[in-house]
Structure 1
């Protein structure tokens, strides 16, 4: 991988820099891919609360992409994505779910499951990025990434709440 920062020599824990950049590019791709997936998941959700949650997360994901661009700029890099194979696979699984479950109640429960798998991947990704940014003393990047991490955790909690109050219980 090419040198990706001008100030790398003076950076604490510089050995993590290339990994940090690689993970940033991966999560940028993941967020962009997720936009398409969220639109489709929202269109398939039968419960209004779930549809709204997907629509709200779509808007939030657009903000995550903009925030990632700020993170790249904060470490003197251009925002460039690399193909996120994990998100592609998670969204392919969500596609399968949407094709295989026709009963609205079961489909909503399955959509929540698929969405939470995505959220857990994002939580893991952002958690690592926050750690790397802190270790390298990229304070602005760490703050921006942590803001997104907290939003991903909130989305996961909201999906759990919808599952327990609406989707996974007999009406």
Structure 2
């Protein structure tokens, strides 16, 4: 599948393609998080990122369950969007010498990832319902709930102290 092809012919095809997109994205996030954890200096931020790494692995397992429930082969498709978000995070955080400012940059990068995931899971859950797959939707909504909670946790950390410390 690629740009300007007609491999996606139905809503079901679009659902599966997007499921493969977020599956790839979650794997890329799982690879990127250990580096972000190493770069974090704030213990609460480091702990939050470590917890999210565990969540990411559970979300991958749930996605595999959705693939199985839907009767399609488990696999990902390249996602230039998440690749770009992760690359930008690496570049920005790599340019910051001050630990407090780096922590603020890490939160911003993590939230960019969370927002991407929130859009994907929200869309997939809505499409699953339209396709009559409430079973798949309920599993996808578990991931969506965790992503929204992670985003709220990151905002609270940033707004309560980390942004102030960086300023």
| TM-score above 0.5 | yes
Equivalence for 1:142: 137
Specify the alignment match of 1:73 in structure 2.
68
Paired residue for 1:21? 16
- What is the TM-score normalised by the length of structure 2? 0.92
Distance 2:140 2:81 in 1: 19
Moved over 3 A (4+): 1-4
Q: Which one of 113, 116, 131 corresponds to residue 118 of structure 1?
A: 113
How far the C-alpha of 1:165 sits from its partner, in A, is 1.4
Asked if 1:166 is matched to 2:161, the reply is: yes
Displacement of 1:78 after TM fit? 1.5
| Unaligned ranges ≥5, structure 2 | none
Question: What RMSD in Å do the two structures reach over aligned CA positions?
Answer: 1.8
Answering whether residue 55 of structure 2 is matched by residue 60 of structure 1, we say yes
Q: Which consecutive residues of structure 1, in runs of 5 or more, have no partner in the other structure?
A: 5-13
Corresponding pairs, count: 162
> How high is the TM-score relative to the length of structure 1?
0.90
Provide the rounded CA distance (Å) in 2 between the counterparts of 1:36 and 1:94: 13
Question: 1:49, CA displacement in angstroms?
Answer: 0.4
Aligned counterpart for 1:98 among listed residues 88, 93, 97: 93
3-state SS in 2 of match to 1:170: helix
In structure 1, the partner of 2:34 is 39
